[in-house]
Structure 1
Amino acid sequence: MTINCNGKLISLESPKIMGILNLTPDSFFDGGKYKKEKEILQQTEKMLQEGAFCIDVGAYSSKPNAKNVSTEEELQRLLPIVQLLTQEFPDIILSIDTFRSEVAKSAIDNGAAMINDISGGNLDEQMMKTVGELKVPYILMHMRGNPQTMQSLTQYDDLLQDLVYYFSEKVAQARSFGINDIILDPGFGFAKTTHQNFELLKNMKILEVLELPLLAGLSRKSMIYKTLDISAKEALNGTSVLNVLALQQGAKILRVHEVKEARECIQLVAQL
């Protein structure tokens, strides 16, 4: 189970960590925290040193009811940072969190290595075609609607069966466009209630039937802080607990804000 990132074969036989770098002013946890080049470089270096195999850079907030931003603004936020990071860290593997094919192509052209699409191609019909042409790994997430509407789209006949059906169709579509390396993200918090998020986590292993690596993005999500009646800033301990459960359910990539704690989860679970 490997993915090809800028010519480097990354094995996912043992779990890996994706560090989150948000460039948006309104992200639910760290919005506006990394504005200056020095802060961005320091945080990136910290995550790499602590064991992140790649850094996921996003310039469009996907939190519920997030403000829509134009393609132009997303590119203006994103490309200078992609250029900065690839210059400062020549071996860095950058994943780009976007649902827009134009942004994806521009970022890959500037040295990024992977596309993380929250919409699974649903918000831009050119996305899969573009990723196939770029020959880069594709993180395919499950979501209904868009960040502005997803919280009203939580009715399922059978959540797990619906996800398996969704991914089966999407993987076939991605393969038809020549996408070789596909990672599946069940989309915790995206068009799912808190109860549904826990049902999904409890049964995530069912998705292994698709024989593709699974990514779990649980870091500081509302399913943690709403359940515990705390804030997102207080949700690190809860994040670690759920990351352990995700690893036991077959997650091969943990997408997190804090890399050190996720690495410790992986190390401890490996001893079981």
Structure 2
Amino acid sequence: MSQLPPPVRTGRPAAEQNGNAEQFAFRPASKAGRKARLSIQEMSGSGKTWTGLGIAHGLSEGRRFAVIDTEKGAASLYAGVGGIQFDTLAMDRYDPRDLARALDAAAQAGYPTVFVDSLSHFWKGTDGTLDQVDRAKAKYGGNKFAGWKDGTPMQNDMVAAILAYPGHVVASMRSYTEWVLEGGKPQRVGTRPEQRKGIEYEFDVAVAMDIDNTLEVLKSRCPSLNRKVIPRPQGARDIAGPLLAWLSTDPQPETAPMPETDSTEQ
């Protein structure tokens, strides 16, 4: 069998090569300017709202922050407790595009932190992503799967808005619950959050809270929080403090030495 000739690479104009080199230029890694992204998932009664407010207060370093409230004013019941001060935006319909607009309004107002309580409503509440998919299926002959052509971009744009916010973002989510037997007694436990599968991967830190108000760190890019289990957490001290310390630590990268040339090489 005859061998194929080696591939011939056609040279590109120098200007085009230089442009691509600038576009794909690598730079030293840095956390400079990075803001926290944290999610809290829990069953009803686990303390997510109070814990989320404490974390947002700590991340804001005492300044007023914003709460996007879908929980019928639950957060406002804690206003002033422990010196926590915030402004709220109450929402009773949950189009994911409206969350993006609310985040944009918070950014224009200059809030250092936004607490979304809760993100679950923008998934399965009135006008949430699931509602949008159900409505869109009519355009595709009742095919609900095809309705995701409309729903997925809305969901993705909402997540992009959370990630693009110029300050810190804390988002609570309700958990699906199940009953299990522990020691012969039925116990209610939380499973995954009521949001699109994999949503927790979008956050730097994802925590879960149980009915005893114990916080477990499920995932953390902040090393000092990795796998922590904290009974009755104080959000500002136990979570926000380590997060701010981690984000503010950005050592100057060392310059790698150039490889030495063997003087005996010809």
TM-score range (shorter-chain normalised) is 0.3 to 0.5
More strand by share: 2
Larger radius of gyration: 2
Using the size of structure 1 for normalisation, the TM-score is 0.34
Q: Answer 1 or 2: higher relative contact order, Cα 8 Å, separation at least 6.
A: 2
